Amino acid sequence: VGGLAAGLFVAWFEEAARLVRRDRDRLTALDAAIGDADHGTNLDRGLTEVVKALGETPPESAAQVFAVAGATLIRKVGGAAGPLYGSVFRQMGRMIEEPVTLAGFAGAFEAGVVALERLGKAALGDKTMVDALVPAARALALALRDGVGAREAFELAARAAAEGAEGTIPMQARKGRASYLGERSVGHEDPGAASSALFMAALATVTAKA
Ligand code: ADP
Ligand code: MG
Ligand code: MG
């Protein structure tokens, strides 16, 4: 893989913002079933702010892209998901080294997911965004081991995240608002896992275009 340029990651957030806006009502409906019906609007607002911030000061490095995205999500999104996603990207900004390789990206992403797990005290199976992001991180690690390129690796990560999100349907929530529902949270897809799948789909899309 040649270097993954800062511009690719700006495009990532633009595409993620587009997908979240497109699916805003679906995400909010998922949150209406097991939460407080604001996940789509929260994330749409947050990502709109991220795209605006990235446009105002075009970042010179991937580290800067992630730092700006993380800080903006933490600052602008009320609710659980803003600080949680923010912590993923802020940690990625701290860990990523230039020029960004697939291995470097995978390592930073893994570190970002660990930061999220620590902040949310959530593990696999708790019916949260962790259930989409951990499989995505694992898929990237396997792709690296198998020596596939960035395009295919991100495609595999996107598929793993989508399957992970679907896998939250039969789970009972143990973290976040959905956990207040106890057994009644079973049978619904977790909204944060669904938006995480959109993030990974966006990365695959912009990499395929690059
Ligand atoms: P809020 O629940 O504050 O309204 P959102 O609706 O924007 O925030 O986000 C809800 C999503 O956040 C959930 O679907 C879940 O994926 C994620 N989430 C909530 N709490 C946690 C946690 N402790 N750890 C990991 N993810 C969490
Ligand atoms: Mg909510
Ligand atoms: Mg809320």
Residues around ion ligand 2, judged by CB within 5 A, are 31, 35-36, 38-39
Rounded CA-CA distance 210/207 in Å is 5
Residue scoring higher pLDDT (2 or 199)? 199
Rounded CA-CA distance 46/97 in Å is 26
Average pLDDT over the chain, rounded to an integer: 96
Question: Would you say residue 1 has pLDDT above 60?
Answer: no
Question: Which residue(s) pair with 100 in the sheet?
Answer: 4
Rounded CA-CA distance 131/122 in Å is 9
Tell me phi and psi for residue 100, to 5 degrees. Answer: -80, 120
- Alpha helix stretches (DSSP H) within the chain: 6-22, 24-34, 39-56, 62-76, 81-95, 102-120, 130-145, 150-166, 191-209
CB distance 192 to ligand 1 below 6 Å: yes
Single-letter residue type at 198: L
pLDDT tens, position by position, 10-57: 999 999 999 999 999 999 999 999 999 999 999 999 999 999 999 998
Distance 55 CA to ligand 3 centre (A): 27
Tell me phi and psi for residue 193, to 5 degrees. Answer: -65, -40
Query: What band does 152 get if pLDDT is binned at 50, 70 and 90?
Result: very high
Residue 174: predicted pLDDT: 98
Distance 145 CA to ligand 3 centre (A): 39
Residue 208: predicted pLDDT: 94
Residue 78: predicted pLDDT: 83
> Is 0.90 topped by the overall pTM?
yes
pLDDT tens, position by position, 100-112: 999 999 999 999 9
What is the atom index within ligand 1 of the atom nearest the CA of 193?
Answer: 16
Distance 79 CA to ligand 2 centre (A): 6
Distance 37 CA to ligand 2 centre (A): 5
Give the ipTM of the model, two decimals please.
Answer: 0.99
* Contact call for residues 70 and 90 (beta carbons, < 8 A): yes
pLDDT tens, position by position, 80-97: 999 999 999 999 999 999
- What lies within 8 Å, CB to CB, of 22 at 6+ separation is none
Instruction: Retrieve residue 17's tokens.
Output: 């913002």
Lowest mean pLDDT among 75-79, 140-144, 175-179, 195-199: 75-79
* Domains along the sequence of the chain with CATH: 6-209 (1.25.40.340)
Indicate which residue's Cα is closest to atom 14 of ligand 1.
192
Question: Would you say residue 2 has pLDDT above 90?
Answer: no
Residue 115: predicted pLDDT: 98
Residue 135: predicted pLDDT: 98
- What lies within 8 Å, CB to CB, of 180 at 6+ separation is none
CB distance 46 to ligand 1 below 6 Å: no
Question: Would you say residue 172 has pLDDT above 50?
Answer: yes
Indicate which residue's Cα is closest to atom 9 of ligand 1.
81
